[in-house]
């Protein structure tokens, strides 16, 4: 019997693309330098590569799920120009207190809840204990820890602020990387792939 696959689950805003306090249109989405090449390296290593993103802007009425599809289309095109491919984009459109119906619910998908990770594990037959979660917020680290994955905090986006905020709280990333490129180098070294 073959072992289940390993995956890398990437936060979107502040990790792959610049943090702009709600990407509302495709034009607002700007990749962080090196992100497309980093995703390509994950693809070349055979790692399932997914996005997991809290998108409460839908619940708040800033944009619709259809608008979000256009934004994600731009993300995929931008990554493709650098040879990168995302296997699946998971997002949570909910917010428990700041949303409008039907999105104003407590859900299992909004990070730090593990719903998006569990769904990805089911759909791609992934072993979460061999997988990584990469993001710039405490909720990314918490979500990864909840499912037994290794959590990497990147210092892009809100990462520097997050590192200060979580100091001494018990929320401890397994690794802190300057950006997605460094995070991927660390991941590939752990798996014995050339970086």
**Catalytic residue from among 11, 136, 138, 179:** 11
Active site residue 13: yes
Tell me: the pLDDT tens digits for 75-86?
A: 999 999 999 999
pLDDT at residue 195 tops 60: no
List, for residues 8-44, the tens digit of each pLDDT value: 999 999 999 999 999 999 999 999 999 999 999 999 9
Q: Catalytic: 11? A: yes
> What is d(CA 52, CA 158) in angstroms, rounded to the nearest whole number?
16
Characterise 56 by phi-psi region: left (phi > 0), alpha (psi -120 to 50), beta (else): alpha
Burial class (CB in 10 A: 0-12, 13-18, 19+), 70: middle
**Extents of the domains making up the chain:** 7-190
Is the pLDDT at 103 greater than 50, yes or no? yes
pLDDT of residue 4: 86
Contact at 8 Å (CB) between 7 and 42? no
pTM above 0.95, yes or no: yes
Task: Report whether pLDDT(1) > 60.
Answer: no
Kindly state the average pLDDT of the residues 110-127.
98
Q: How confident is the model at residue 2 (pLDDT cuts 50, 70, 90)?
A: low
7-190: CATH number: 3.40.50.1000
Region 114-140: mean pLDDT is 98
Look at residue 88 and tell me whether its pLDDT is greater than 80: yes
H-assigned helices in 5-129: 35-44, 56-59, 65-81, 115-124
Q: How far is residue 101 CA from its own chain's centroid?
A: 25
147-175 mean pLDDT: 97
Res 193 pLDDT > 80: no
């Amino acid at each position: 019997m073959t072992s289940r696959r390993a995956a890398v689950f990437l936060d979107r805003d502040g990790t792959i693309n610049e943090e702009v306090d709600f990407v509302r249109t495709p034009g607002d989405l700007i990749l962080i330098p090196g992100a497309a090449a980093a995703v390509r390296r994950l693809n070349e290593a055979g790692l399932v590569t997914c996005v997991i993103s809290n998108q409460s802007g839908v619940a708040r009425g800033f944009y619709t799920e259809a608008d979000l599809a256009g934004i994600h289309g731009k993300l995929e095109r931008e990554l493709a120009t650098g040879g990168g491919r995302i296997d699946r984009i998971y997002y949570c459109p909910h917010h428990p207190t700041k949303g409008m119906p039907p999105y104003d619910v407590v859900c299992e998908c909004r990070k730090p809840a593990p719903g998006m990770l569990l769904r990805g594990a089911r759909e791609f037959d992934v072993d979460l204990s061999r997988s990584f979660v990469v993001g710039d917020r405490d909720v990314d680290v918490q979500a990864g820890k909840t499912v037994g994955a290794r959590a990497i905090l990147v210092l892009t986006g809100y990462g520097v602020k997050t590192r200060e905020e979580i100091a001494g709280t018990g929320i401890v990333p397994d690794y802190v990387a300057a950006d997605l490129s460094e995070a991927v180098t660390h991941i590939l070294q752990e798996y014995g792939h050339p970086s």
